Structure formats: structure tokens, C-alpha cells
Amino acid sequence: SFNLYPHMTALGNVTLALRRVLKLSTRDANSRGMEALDGVGLTDKAGAYPGELSGGQQQRVAIARALSLEPKIMLFDEPTSALDPELVGSVLEVMRQMRNTGMTMVVVSHEMRFAREAADRVIFMDEGHIVEEGTPSDIFEAPQHQRTRTFLSAVTQK
């Protein structure tokens, strides 16, 4: 669940906080909401209800909802973990686009390929403790700690 209201369209979910919290007019909220949906490639789904959307589309609506509020930072906790593997790419592409626009993101993920290509900084944690941190090349090409090497070996095997 991406905390979308099932009785509201994708656009309605994106614009609710714009209208209720930011007190934008319906017209202004809809305009900003459509821009946000366009940013995640879902303008054609503005009138669709969550039950009519795939998991990846629902996740992208949730991202559009957050982006419409113009945050300075986005936090993601395993953003692709609940998705069918075939849908992961669409969400990661939206996150790549966000990174390319300069959005600061903190991402908890097991998507090592994405972390390697999109991160400026990687922190490897185990049992709630930071084991190692550095640039993607530091962590993925020359990990200093055995625990990091063991983890990377396990998750990068085919």
C-alpha cells in the first residue's frame, strides 16, 4: 500500500494536501498535480483510481503526491520492495530523474545496481550499525570490511 485513498483518482490523491494543507485553489492544485503526474509519466492515469493502477503506477502516484509539495528532501524506505520485478524499472527511472534535477534523497534499498549508479554516498549498515560508508566506488569496488564484502558477494551473485 502506498497510502493512496482508494475512492480518489490519482489526481485527487496528488492534490488533496495541496488543497487542504497549502490551501491552493482547485484550479491551482490541479495544475500542480498534473505537473507532478507528468513528472512521473502518469498524466494519462490522472482519472484512474488506485485499484485500476499497477503497483509501480501506484508508487509513482505516491511519489508525485510528495513531489507536488515541493520538498527539499525525499526519504525512500525500500521503494521497490513491494513491486513486481517487472515494474521496478519504472520507479527507479523516476528516482533517477529526481536525482538528475538535484533532489536530495535518502534511500534505504537492496537495489545495489541502482545505489551504485545513482548514489553520491553509500552507507552499508548491519544490525542497526554503520559498517562502512563512502562513495559508490569505495563501497562496491574496494570495500574495507569483511561484512560488506560478504553482503555484496551474496547479493551480486547470479
Spatial separation of the C-alpha atoms in residues 37 and 67, rounded to whole Å: 9
Question: Which pLDDT score, from 0 to 100, does residue 118 have?
Answer: 84
Nearest to 79 by CA among 67, 69, 70, 89: 89
Would you put residue 147 in left (φ > 0), alpha (ψ -120 to 50) or beta? Answer: alpha
Unique residue bearing C-alpha cell 533517477: 96
Question: Which pLDDT score, from 0 to 100, does residue 158 have?
Answer: 54
Question: Which pLDDT score, from 0 to 100, does residue 134 have?
Answer: 97
Let me know if residue 85 belongs to a domain: yes
Let me know if residue 39 belongs to a domain: yes
Three-state SS string over 90-128 comes to HHHHHHHHHHHCCCEEEEECCCHHHHHHHCCCEEEEECC
Let me know if residue 109 belongs to a domain: yes
Number of structural domains the chain divides into? 1
Let me know if residue 106 belongs to a domain: yes
Question: Which pLDDT score, from 0 to 100, does residue 117 have?
Answer: 83
Q: What are the mean pLDDT values of the chain's consecutive 10-residue runs (158 residues total)?
A: 94 98 98 95 96 92 95 90 78 87 91 86 96 96 96 83
Spatial separation of the C-alpha atoms in residues 114 and 148, rounded to whole Å: 17
Domain CATH number, residue 21: 3.40.50.300
C-alpha cell at 44: 494519462
Instruction: Work out the number of other CB atoms within 10 angstroms of the CB of residue 147.
Output: 15
Let me know if residue 21 belongs to a domain: yes
Let me know if residue 131 belongs to a domain: no
Instruction: Work out the number of other CB atoms within 10 angstroms of the CB of residue 86.
Output: 10
**3-state DSSP assignment of residue 133:** strand
Instruction: Work out the number of other CB atoms within 10 angstroms of the CB of residue 61.
Output: 26
Spatial separation of the C-alpha atoms in residues 54 and 111, rounded to whole Å: 20
Unique residue bearing C-alpha cell 547470479: 158
Let me know if residue 139 belongs to a domain: no
Biggest distance spanned by C-alpha atoms of the chain: 56
pTM: 0.82
- Where in the chain does DSSP place strands (E)? 73-77, 104-108, 122-126, 129-134
The domain in which residue 80 lies consists of 10-119
Let me know if residue 90 belongs to a domain: yes
Question: Which pLDDT score, from 0 to 100, does residue 86 have?
Answer: 78
